[in-house]
Amino acid sequence: MKPVKHIDPPPNHLSGNDWCILGELELPVGAEADGMVSAWLTEILNPLSLNTDFLYKVLKSAQDAAARSIQAETRMGFEHIHLLVFAPRENASKGKTWGFFRIEKVGRPIANKDPYDHSIEFYLYLEE
């Protein structure tokens, strides 16, 4: 089993939009997803001081998606999945509530040399 790979986010936001990446986690197939995903998400979301109920919803969604993806990867020949979390560049949350949406992407190999790539992206946003 390959080790979990924590990828440090770039210091600046993604060009052309107002999202910044809070973190990326690479989970190998065969990894115990629940504990790793929970610890990683708790660490990267801690600076946002999120409501406990909202944090639980994000954690549960990530754990469910990762577990389902890891099962699918063993059948489809994937080697790992990527979890990414994005948030608004400016996150002054005073008086606002948070929401999120999840996007899952499966890519095709380039020239049939690389394994398929599977990513699960979470976008946290502030509601007005």
> How many domains does the chain fold into?
1
pLDDT of residue 93: 61
Domain that holds residue 43: 5-9+17-127
CA distance 44 to 91: 14
Question: Is the entire prediction scored with pTM above 0.85?
Answer: no
Distances (CA, A) of 64 to 27, 31, 102: 14, 14, 12
Share of the chain above pLDDT 70, in %: 65
Please, what is the average pLDDT of the chain? Answer: 78
Q: By mean pLDDT, which of 3-7, 79-83, 117-121 is the weakest?
A: 3-7
Distances (CA, A) of 85 to 8, 13, 35, 95, 113: 12, 12, 17, 22, 28
Q: Compute the 3-state secondary structure of the chain and give helix, strand, coil in percent, each to the nearest 5.
A: 30, 35, 35
Between residues 126 and 67, the one the model is more confident about: 126
Reply yes or no on whether the pLDDT at 1 is more than 60.
no
